[in-house]
Amino acid sequence: MPRLAAMTDTAAPPRPALAGTDRRTVVGLTVAVGLVVLAFVLPPLAGWDVASRVDDRAAAPTHGFWDPKVGWGTVPAVAVGLLAVWRGEAWALGWSWRRLLLASYVGSLAWLLALALVDGADGLTRAMAHRSEYLHTARQVDDVDLLLRTYVERIPYAHPDNWPVHVAGHPPGAVLVFVALVSVGLGGAVATALVVTAVAASLPAAVLVTLRLLGVDRHARLAAPFLVVSPAAVFLAVSADALFATFAAWGLASLAAAAVAVRRSRMVAWAVLAGLLLGWCVMSSYGLPLLGVLAVAVLAVGRSWWPLPVAATSALALVLGFAAAGFAWWEAYPVLVDRYWDGIASERPAAYWMWGNLAALLLCAGPLLGAGLAHASGRAADRRDPEVGPLLWLAGAAVVAVVVADLSRMSKAEVERIWLPFVPWLTLTMALLPSGWRRQGLLLQVVTALAVQHLLYTTW
């Protein structure tokens, strides 16, 4: 009997060092799903008017309304999603790095287009063609100097020729991208939508490049399927915020390249490019100075602070260039705050939106984010895998950015698109999940994206 007991003890599998994280992961997913459900059902059940829209068809916490449908893109979207679940991880782990990057772009493009086309022929263009969006204003611009010199004065509602809501709510960098597209003959709604989609499809590749530069290979590959078939694609193909998210991701990739550069000339070149891209993001959205938190995380992981003054100087030069041309960010922001609170924001109760925003984020990033964040919190002390630390730094920086944005109360509602620049970095936590969770979790992500696209008119 003693010998049998010894043999039994020897044969028993060792207890996982991080077994406690499994319970934490279940709790995280449960809380995430519960938060989303409560955000949808409490307003109608309790009779709360949360003012997510100006009409009574709202499906808070999103900015859309209920609109069940199937469309041209339904079958392709289901096919792309199931293919990613079936073979995504195996392909990501087995392919060469270049092939993975190419596949991430092609897969992301197919996913974006298929989801958008669920809404039919206008699935890509309905947002771009709306008069409140940038393209409508860009087509009317024939003097960029005048645009910049009069930009701030046209923000308030009181101005007789005030800007449409999205133009007023952002610095001029956003509309200038569309002015450039119009000037080169890409000002049609279809052409513009295709350009935005083509750019947004490179977002997963930008994140993967950043990770690889920072010494993360296996977990970058594990993250790839989650980045490609993210529910965020519902909003990326039809939202100008997709451009901000993608520019930001490539800016951070450039900063990572600067941090690991061996030659000083390359460090300076990459840092200048990073500063210009991140600076353009600041001049496109008032909330994107928060990218600075992610930039610090990239440099901390890259263990080099030399690119910081170069990138900061490059970004500052861009901001001051706009100021010299007539638009000063620091003068515009207080005016924007006044307009924001003069509008529907004053009717949106913070008691709901402070947590309703997080539910909208979970719809955009997918409810598996709850499991990913909870599991990641249990890996903070894990020193056995050198790839865990970089992922925690980047995801943690994104969490800080989202918390600050939420507490600012300057983004009550509509965060499913406003917070797109932070979503891919939060998504990295899903790569840390145990293997048993990843495949089922990816299926949950795909189902979430399909459900949001097929059940809601998302506005974007």
pLDDT at residue 383 in the model:
76
Give the whole-angstrom CA distance, residue 348 versus residue 335: 20
Please list the residues that pair with 456 across neighbouring strands: 66
- Which whole-number Å values give the CA distances from 366 to 184, 230, 442, in the listed order? 37, 7, 9
Overall pTM surpassing 0.85 (yes/no): yes
Q: What is the pLDDT of residues 37-70, one digit of tens each?
A: 999 999 999 999 898 876 667 899 999 999 999 9
3-class SS of residue 65:
strand
Type of residue numbered 449? A
The tokens describing 74, both together, are 């339904």
Residue with the two structure tokens 């003068």: 331
Do residues 363 and 416 make contact, with C-beta atoms less than 8 angstroms apart? Answer: yes
Enumerate residues 6+ apart whose C-beta is below 8 A from 292: 278
3-class SS of residue 258:
helix
pLDDT at residue 21 in the model:
61
Is residue 346 very low, low, confident or very high in pLDDT (cuts 50, 70, 90)?
confident
Do residues 81 and 229 make contact, with C-beta atoms less than 8 angstroms apart? Answer: yes
182 CB-contact burial (10 Å; exposed 0-12 / middle 13-18 / buried 19+)? middle
Give, rounded to a whole angstrom, the gap between the first and last alpha carbons of the chain.
69
Do residues 77 and 453 make contact, with C-beta atoms less than 8 angstroms apart? Answer: yes
CB atoms within 10 A of CB 351: 10
Give the whole-angstrom CA distance, residue 9 versus residue 47: 60
Torsion of CA 361, 366, 371, 376, to 10 degrees: -70
Average pLDDT over residues 425-441: 96
Asked if the model's pLDDT at residue 436 lies above 70, the reply is yes
Is residue 379 very low, low, confident or very high in pLDDT (cuts 50, 70, 90)?
confident
Give the whole-angstrom CA distance, residue 138 versus residue 127: 14
Q: What is the pLDDT of residues 150-206, one digit of tens each?
A: 999 999 999 999 999 999 999 999 999 999 999 999 999 999 999 999 999 999 999
pLDDT at residue 292 in the model:
98
* 115-148 b/e (C-beta count within 10 Å ≥ 16 → b): bbbbbeebbbbbbbbbeebbbbbbeebeebeebb
Q: Which long-range contacts (CB under 8 A, 24 or more apart) does 317-322 make?
A: 317/275, 317/279, 318/275, 318/276, 318/279, 318/280, 318/283, 319/279, 319/282, 319/283, 322/148, 322/171, 322/172, 322/173, 322/283
Type of residue numbered 401? A
Do residues 228 and 111 make contact, with C-beta atoms less than 8 angstroms apart? Answer: yes
Alpha-helix residue ranges (DSSP H) falling in 387-434: 388-408, 415-418, 423-427
The tokens describing 189, both together, are 């709604």
